[in-house]
Amino acid sequence: MIPKTKPYRNKAYLRWVVSNPCCVCGTDNEVQSHHIIGHGTSGMALKSDDRLSCSLCHTHHVELHIQGHQTFDKKYSQMRQPAQLHFVNLTLGRARIQKKLSSELIAEARELIK
């Protein structure tokens, strides 16, 4: 039996995520933290690790949940990557530059979404 690891939780990091503009349109109005879905990073009724989040405005967050992650990922894909993966990597890059997470935590998070 493989032991389950608890997902990383950090309220201060999530507050920082929502202080960033929407990854889709760049607005800073009604920005919310979106935890990545559909890429093997969460379980039934479980949110993914807080490091696997990105900033989305209310409009794009609702769009993702209504249309589904596959449609959203395809519509906003960047650099041949599904949109959510691209946006999380972008957020992790900002976190590294602004020293919001340690290099080790960022490396672990990137391993989770490989």
Q: What is the pLDDT along the chain (114 residues), one digit of tens a residue?
A: 555 678 899 999 999 999 999 999 999 999 999 999 976 655 555 678 999 999 999 999 999 999 999 999 999 998 788 999 999 999 999 999 999 999 999 999 999 888
Pair 54, 88: CB distance under 8 Å: yes
Minimal CA–CA distance to 54: which of 35, 29, 74? 35
- pLDDT for 42 equals 54
Q: What is the DSSP letter of 37?
A: -
* Residue 32 burial (C-beta neighbours within 10 Å; 0-12, 13-18, 19+): middle
Beta bridge partners of 56: 32
Domain range list for the chain: 11-39+46-112
- pLDDT for 3 equals 54
- pLDDT for 27 equals 98
User: Per this entry, what is the length of the chain?
Assistant: 114
- pLDDT for 107 equals 95
Whole-structure pTM over 0.85, yes or no? yes
What the block records as the tokens of 85 is 């993966």
Q: Distance (Å, rounded) from C-alpha 16 to C-alpha 43?
A: 25
